[in-house]
Amino acid sequence: MGDLADRVEELLGRRPLRLSPLAGGCIAEVQRAELADGTRVVVKCSRGAGPDLSLEAWMLRKLRRLGRLPVPEVLAATADILVLEFIDHDDRPPGRRPQRHAAELLASLHAVTAPRFGLERDTLVGPLPQPNEETARWLPFFRDRRLRYMARLARRSGRLPASAFARLERLAERLEKWLEEPARPALLHGDVWSGNILFRGERVAAFLDPAIYFGHPEIELAFTTLFGPFDRVFYDRYAEIAGIAPGFFELRKDIYNLYPLLVHLHLFGSGYLRPITALLDRLGL
């Protein structure tokens, strides 16, 4: 415990009495630290030459500043250490009321807008770079900064076969056939799935591990259909507030989910290739 306890004491001015491991993401070791006054905090430590954790701190602070999405308070941050408030939460799937609350929070987040798609700086999705050079239109942004960028990473890693890469290129050239421009750029959390949302009682306690940028809300909603934790209650409530255009569930969500599937293919291997090629088959590419 010594070295990490020393770092925490240096950052907070208080030494942890004990550290215990927590389930974490793929970019850092995550520990719960208990301080002498009973306060609990979360300490993330970058693995080796991992990503700069001060970028996660920057994203969390920006979310707190721009909207009402609950996120942990950043207590201290350096390139390799991030200290956050500890959020009490339940260890069970969310019921109807917390799902409705999550829908209300994301609809409110998506109401925050900007002049252009992207962001003033690049961010991360998991451990991977996420380029955010701003554009005036959504479809070129999704094509070049999301679909093509991640397909090229997966191709270079050897996880995406040349034939599938060529088919994704054909899709990228024809996105206008299936996707449309949104009315405006919307602020996105960027990585909403069951592992990144904490629930407490009837409400959302916090959203974790953002990958923020301004984009189309549909790409955010699409990702929630891949790894949960929501059912129809969430989507019905979101639609009541912000609307979900016809055709989203039938096809567009699957096109947008190519991006997280390519992320997972690059990181975790061939198990994620089949849904990619199945969609390309469906589209006749």
**pLDDT, mean over the chain:** 93
Rounded to whole angstroms, the Cα distance separating 44 from 38 reads 19
Phi and psi (nearest 5°) for 121? -150, 160
- Which residue stretches of the chain are H helix? 2-12, 53-66, 96-110, 138-141, 149-156, 162-173, 217-227, 232-242, 253-256, 258-268, 273-282
Which of 176, 173, 84, 97 lies closest to 138, judged by CA? Answer: 176
* Token pair recorded at residue 279: 């969609």
For 203, the enclosing helix (H) or strand (E) is strand 203-207
Q: pTM of the predicted model, to two decimals?
A: 0.94
Residue 281: pLDDT over 50: yes
Q: What is the pLDDT of residues 74-121, one digit of tens each?
A: 999 999 999 999 999 988 889 999 999 999 999 999 999 999 999 999
Specify the pLDDT at position 6: 86
Confidence of residue 46 (pLDDT cuts 50, 70, 90): confident
Q: Which residues contact 83 (CB under 8 A, 6 or more apart)?
A: 8, 11, 12, 33, 41, 42, 43, 44, 74, 75, 76, 77
- Whether 191 is a known active-site residue: answer yes
φ, ψ for residue 211 (rounded to 5)?
-140, 60
**Residue-wise pLDDT tens digits, 169-203:** 999 999 999 999 999 999 999 999 998 999 999 99
Give yes or no for a contact between 74 and 61, defined as CB atoms under 8 angstroms apart: yes
Q: Tokens at residue 227, please? A: 């790894």
Q: What is the DSSP letter of 116?
A: S
pLDDT, one tens digit per residue, over 58-69 is 999 999 999 889
Q: Please pick, among 52, 91, 122, 191, the residue that the annotation labels catalytic.
A: 191
- State the pLDDT at residue 144: 98
- 1 pLDDT above the threshold of 60: no
- Supply 123's token pair: 């961010």
Q: How far is C-alpha 76 from the geometric centre of its chain's CA atoms?
A: 21
Q: How confident is the model at residue 246 (pLDDT cuts 50, 70, 90)?
A: very high
Residue 155 clears pLDDT 80, i.e. is over it: yes
| pLDDT value for 13 | 85
**pLDDT at residue 167 tops 90:** yes
In the structure encoding, which two tokens stand for residue 242, read together?
Answer: 């912000």
All domains in the chain, ordered by first residue: 2-85 (3.30.200.20), 96-282 (3.90.1200.10)
Q: So what's the pLDDT on residue 25?
A: 57
Rounded to whole angstroms, the Cα distance separating 69 from 205 reads 10
Tell me the average pLDDT across 212-216.
98
